[in-house]
Amino acid sequence: MPTGVYRRVFITLKWAIKTPRINNISSGARCNRWEAEVWRKWRPRFGWEHLCPVRFCDPFGLILIMDRALQPVTFEEVKSANDLEYGNYYPNVSVEYKPENWGVIAGKMVCVDYGIDEAEQIIKKRLYYQQKSGMQ
């Protein structure tokens, strides 16, 4: 069972089920909630194509369900997929090129970890996305 910095992940044939690590429940739950918000609310506005789909997240962020991506991939594969297939998105999502945060679904390289753990960073990012999408 993979363990990330903030979350434990149960992998099935089709799904990746993320739950906060017990030693830092609030950060893990915040990552889950932000990942769900990015997927549902901001991705449709900014057209990000490189994110792994979120299918379910409860309001507290205790359980998030994503499509399962195939791992491992290499840094070179992540980098070339981003260079060749995805544009320079503006505004962008906070993603890292760490290979463990990426995987392949139906031949497409996707980021499986786009959570943010810090509440203040999330507030700033949300405000920024609101401004860029002409909301408010």
Instruction: Classify each residue of 24-56 as buried b or exposed e, where b means 16 or more C-beta atoms within 10 Å of its C-beta.
Output: eeebbbbbbbbbbbbbeebbeeeebebbbebee
Of the residues 39, 78, 113, 116, which one makes contact with Mg ion according to CB under 5 A: 113
5 touching ligand ADP, by CB under 6 A: yes
H/E element, 18:
strand 15-20
20 touching ligand ADP, by CB under 6 A: no
32 touching ligand ADP, by CB under 6 A: no
CB nearer Mg ion, residue 37 or residue 113:
113
Query: What is the total count of residues that contact ligand ADP (CB under 6 A)?
Result: 22
Burial-class residue 77 by CB neighbours within 10 Å (0-12, 13-18, 19+): middle
Q: Tell me the per-residue interface mask from 56 to 95 with ligand ADP, x by CB under 6 A, - otherwise.
A: ----------xxxx-x------------------------
Task: Report yes or no: 96 and 114 within 8 Å, Cβ to Cβ.
Answer: no
Task: Report yes or no: 18 and 2 within 8 Å, Cβ to Cβ.
Answer: no
CB of residue 41 to Mg ion, shortest distance in Å: 21
CB nearer ligand ADP, residue 100 or residue 132:
100
4 touching Mg ion, by CB under 5 A: yes
